[in-house]
């Protein structure tokens, strides 16, 4: 290669390098702006609305948490998250989901128990051939708190029942309900000036208005058959139906869905006691102590029913991916130690194990003299009902008890 060609290629090479350098100088600021824009989304005035259908027992806590969350201005991808809470009983919500009557459609659901989620998911899996609620992964259903089904009975009544029958359970309650002479036959006061108690009055929420009413019938069946899993054959057993009818006949009023509130407000005229949600009993304990001379006591049954209030994100196309992810942000907020501590002050057992039941402001500690327990001895856990059992019990209730 002669000298002229070498000089020519050198000049061309230098020119190419100058052009590349010029391009780099002009493009680097633009690339930086793009990268910065991806790392920090532009703030938008438009909000992400997250609607959450929430079971009645946890609604006060969840609603309070939502207001705090909204006031703190949480954002996702530059947009503010707004959480709206829709109170609704779990069985009612299940019906709306399965009939496709949710309007507007919620982003997430916090029902009374996981079995309700499973039943709705099974219905939609048949319709759409896919899960709409997940059991694993980031969007899986996660309990945000728990509560137990326990006996809440006025102390004077509990003392008489235990002296006459021993442990307080559904069979004891049935015997009390069937006493033809009422409380006088069982061992209650006999003199007029003592204030006769009349007949035993059971407190059970209306199963059509409160999932706890259904749980009460399942718990009673568990003790009757001495097992944790109830079948349709059990529900349709004539002897059991007769026994359950006698038991439920002791309920004085099915018009209300909020039995513990009524028990605190109306006292003995509402009922002598019943198997009710532990958190409801604890939050109403002070009102009962203030209003009535006779305090309420808590007894835990051998066959124990758990309410686990799972936070469940809807995975169908009715809500956007941004709304789903925003719902997860609120879920994390509910599970934070601060919010779990507030759940504890409402009688709920925290799902975050960092928060202890004997911590500050714990209603379990405050009312331990009335029977509240932070640590439970060994109990037998009732299994959740399947769809056939649920429908059979509700049908039986409609035909034999509802009025």
pLDDT digits (tens, 9 = 90+) for 30-66: 444 443 444 455 566 789 999 999 999 999 999 999 9
Q: Are 196 and 263 part of one and the same domain?
A: yes
Q: Are 283 and 328 part of one and the same domain?
A: no
pLDDT for res 1: 52
pLDDT for res 192: 52
Q: How many domains does the chain have?
A: 2
Q: Are strands 273-277 and 79-87 parallel, antiparallel or unpaired?
A: unpaired
Supply 144's token pair.
């945000």
pLDDT for res 19: 54
Measured from the Cβ of residue 100, the count of other Cβ atoms closer than 10 Å reads 12
In terms of phi and psi (left: phi > 0; alpha: psi -120 to 50; beta: otherwise), the region of 118 is alpha
Please count the residues of the chain.
403
- For residue 323, give the CATH number of its domain: 3.40.190.10
Q: Are 294 and 392 part of one and the same domain?
A: yes
Q: Give the integer Cα–Cα distance in Å for 229 and 403.
A: 29
Q: Give the integer Cα–Cα distance in Å for 89 and 91.
A: 6
pLDDT for res 7: 54
pLDDT for res 35: 39
Residue 365 in domain: no
φ, ψ of residue 75 in degrees (nearest 5) = -130, 155
Q: What is the pTM of this model?
A: 0.86
Residue 92 in domain: yes
Supply 259's token pair.
């039995």
Q: What are the tens digits of pLDDT across the range 173-203? A: 999 999 999 999 999 886 555 567 999 999 9
Q: Give the integer Cα–Cα distance in Å for 177 and 182.
A: 8
Q: Give the integer Cα–Cα distance in Å for 263 and 347.
A: 17
Alpha helices in 249-320, H assignment, sequence order: 259-266, 278-291
pLDDT for res 33: 46
Burial degree of 61 (CB within 10 A; 0-12, 13-18, 19+): buried
For residue 303, the SS3 value is strand
Q: Are 77 and 200 part of one and the same domain?
A: no
Q: Are 246 and 389 part of one and the same domain?
A: yes
Q: Are 214 and 68 part of one and the same domain?
A: no
Q: Are 177 and 301 part of one and the same domain?
A: yes
Q: Are 244 and 384 part of one and the same domain?
A: yes
pLDDT for res 401: 86
Of residues 273, 221, 262, the one with CA closest to residue 244: 221
Q: Are 225 and 259 part of one and the same domain?
A: yes
Residue 26 in domain: no
Domain span holding position 88: 44-144+309-335
Q: Are 321 and 261 part of one and the same domain?
A: no
φ, ψ of residue 120 in degrees (nearest 5) = -65, -40
Q: Are 196 and 235 part of one and the same domain?
A: yes
User: Which regions in the chain score pLDDT beneath 70?
Assistant: 1-44, 190-195, 256-257, 403
């Amino acid at each position: 290669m002669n000298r002229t060609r070498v000089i020519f290629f050198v000049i061309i090479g230098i020119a190419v390098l100058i052009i590349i350098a010029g391009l780099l100088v002009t493009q680097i600021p633009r690339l930086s702006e793009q990268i910065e824009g991806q790392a920090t989304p532009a703030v938008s005035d438009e909000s992400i609305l997250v609607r959450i259908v929430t079971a009645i027992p946890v609604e006060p806590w969840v609603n309070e948490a939502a207001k705090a969350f909204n006031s703190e201005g949480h954002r996702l991808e530059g947009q503010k998250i707004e959480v709206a809470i829709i109170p609704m009983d779990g069985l009612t919500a299940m019906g709306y989901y399965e009939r496709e009557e949710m309007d507007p459609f919620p982003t997430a659901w916090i029902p009374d128990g996981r079995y309700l989620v499973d039943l709705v998911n099974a219905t939609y899996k048949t319709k759409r051939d896919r899960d709409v609620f997940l059991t694993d992964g980031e969007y899986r259903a996660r309990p945000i708190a728990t509560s137990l089904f326990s006996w809440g009975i006025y102390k004077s009544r509990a003392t008489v029942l235990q002296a006459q029958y021993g442990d307080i359970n559904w069979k004891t309650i049935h015997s009390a309900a069937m006493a033809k002479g009422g409380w006088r036959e069982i061992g209650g006061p006999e003199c007029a000036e003592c204030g006769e108690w009349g007949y035993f009055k059971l407190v059970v929420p209306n199963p059509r208005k409160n999932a706890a009413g259904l749980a009460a019938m399942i718990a009673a069946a568990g003790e009757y058959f001495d097992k944790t899993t109830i079948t349709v054959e059990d529900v349709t057993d004539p002897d059991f139906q007769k026994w359950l009818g006698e038991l439920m006949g002791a309920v004085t009023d099915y018009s209300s869905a909020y039995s513990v509130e009524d028990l605190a407000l109306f006292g003995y005229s509402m009922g002598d006691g019943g198997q009710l949600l532990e958190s409801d009993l604890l939050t109403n304990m002070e009102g009962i102590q203030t209003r009535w001379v006779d305090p309420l006591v808590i007894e835990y049954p051998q066959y124990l029913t758990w309410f686990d209030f799972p936070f469940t994100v809807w995975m169908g196309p009715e809500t956007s991916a941004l709304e789903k992810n925003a719902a997860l942000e609120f879920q994390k907020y509910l599970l934070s130690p601060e919010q779990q501590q507030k759940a504890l002050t409402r009688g709920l057992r925290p799902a975050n194990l960092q928060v202890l039941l004997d911590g500050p402001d714990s209603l379990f500690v405050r009312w331990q003299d009335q029977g509240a327990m932070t640590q439970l001895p060994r109990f037998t856990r009732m299994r959740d009902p399947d769809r056939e059992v649920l429908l059979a019990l509700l049908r039986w209730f409609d035909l034999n008890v509802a009025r």
